[in-house]
């Protein structure tokens, strides 16, 4: 399910900002962008997210900054400064140049400045602030996804009700159809074959088998049961995406069987309408947590 969540926390001069973008996906796929010094926390970030989210392609961006009062985060590599000074001095002597070495000459070498190594205490403080911001972002994302989910739930229930209404029509159309089908089959067979060559008992048995093969009562019962379970799954608070996906497949299977067994153009039209609605449901179910 699509969505966006943002969290920001500030403590002890450290500010962590976390943004989560969510796209539709059948599975949970989490990618992270963390500050260099927090790269080793990638697995912990994913584990925290997995506690609340089961499906979706998530892009998580984390930014951590310190207040200006913390001072610059770079230091001077004194060993390299001394080394470059000696090299420059030798170069001047070799070239016979009578000029002093300046700060500008030494700072031409970029690696005389290094990033300050943060101690474990500072890193741990940054991580704690990041965790709080991450939880806030997840909560924000879930809130947005819940609002979208309410609209999605209504749409799914409306489509299931549409299928159910068409199944009621199919049920009405098939009631009493067995006797009608039996009479038509007997009439056609009698017209094609000399009555003296027909074994009445064998004929009744064969016709009964054919009529039974065309009966869709069992399929309709199972189908309506699947529709009932689908609506119950949509209403439950727990994640039901995989369950809905399974029920969608079962509904499709029963519709296919009804369409092939009914052998009736009018019933086939209602089956087609149901399958069109089911295809829209199938697409929407991919967005369900």
Shared-domain flag, residues 173 and 276: yes
Shared-domain flag, residues 194 and 104: no
Separation of alpha carbons 176 and 122, rounded Å: 80
Shared-domain flag, residues 160 and 27: no
- Which residues, in sequence order, are bridge partners of residue 28? 56
Structure confidence at residue 236 (pLDDT): 82
Count of domains for the chain = 3
Structure confidence at residue 131 (pLDDT): 95
Shared-domain flag, residues 42 and 89: no
Shared-domain flag, residues 182 and 246: yes
Separation of alpha carbons 27 and 242, rounded Å: 10
Shared-domain flag, residues 16 and 127: yes
Separation of alpha carbons 146 and 140, rounded Å: 10
Domain that holds residue 131: 3-69+122-144
Query: Who contacts 215 (Cβ-Cβ below 8 Å, separation ≥6)?
Result: 174, 178, 261
Query: Which residues, given as ranges, of the chain have pLDDT below 50?
Result: 69
Which residue in 135, 129, 138, 144 sits closest to 63, CA to CA? 129
Extract the tokens encoding 222: 């199972």
Shared-domain flag, residues 103 and 163: no
3-state secondary structure at position 286: coil
Separation of alpha carbons 154 and 26, rounded Å: 21
Chain segment 84-126, per-residue pLDDT in tens: 899 988 888 888 888 888 888 888 887 787 665 556 788 889 9
Separation of alpha carbons 264 and 113, rounded Å: 83
Shared-domain flag, residues 161 and 267: yes
Shared-domain flag, residues 182 and 271: yes
Structure confidence at residue 62 (pLDDT): 95
Structure confidence at residue 182 (pLDDT): 60
Shared-domain flag, residues 171 and 216: yes
Separation of alpha carbons 113 and 169, rounded Å: 80
Domain with residue 57: its CATH number is 3.30.230.70
Shared-domain flag, residues 193 and 137: no
Separation of alpha carbons 17 and 64, rounded Å: 6
Shared-domain flag, residues 281 and 164: yes
Structure confidence at residue 240 (pLDDT): 79
């Amino acid at each position: 399910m699509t969505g966006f969540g943002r969290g920001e926390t500030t403590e002890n001069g450290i500010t962590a900002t976390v943004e989560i973008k969510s796209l539709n996906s059948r599975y949970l796929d989490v990618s992270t962008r963390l500050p260099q010094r927090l790269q080793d926390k990638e697995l912990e970030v994913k584990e925290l997210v997995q506690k609340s989210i089961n499906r979706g392609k998530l892009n998580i961006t984390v930014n951590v900054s310190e207040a200006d009062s913390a001072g610059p985060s770079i230091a001077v590599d004194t060993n390299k400064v001394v080394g470059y000074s000696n090299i420059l001095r030798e170069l001047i002597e070799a070239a016979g140049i009578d000029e002093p070495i300046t700060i500008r000459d030494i700072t031409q070498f970029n690696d005389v400045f290094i990033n300050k190594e943060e101690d474990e205490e500072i890193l741990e403080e940054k991580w704690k602030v990041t965790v709080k911001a991450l939880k806030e972002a997840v909560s924000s994302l879930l809130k947005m996804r819940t609002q979208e989910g309410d609209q999605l739930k209504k749409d799914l229930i409306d489509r299931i009700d549409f299928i159910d209404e068409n199944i009621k029509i199919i049920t009405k159309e098939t009631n009493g159809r067995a006797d009608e089908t039996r009479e038509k089959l007997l009439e056609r067979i009698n017209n094609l074959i000399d009555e003296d060559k027909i074994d009445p008992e064998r004929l009744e048995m064969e016709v009964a088998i054919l009529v039974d093969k065309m009966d869709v009562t069992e399929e309709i019962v199972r189908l309506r049961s699947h529709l009932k379970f689908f609506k119950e799954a949509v209403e439950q608070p727990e994640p039901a995406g995989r369950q809905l996906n399974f029920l969608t497949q079962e509904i499709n299977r029963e519709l296919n069987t009804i369409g092939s067994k009914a052998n009736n153009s009018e019933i086939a039209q209602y089956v087609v309408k149901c399958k069109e609605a089911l295809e829209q449901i199938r697409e929407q179910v991919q967005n369900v947590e």
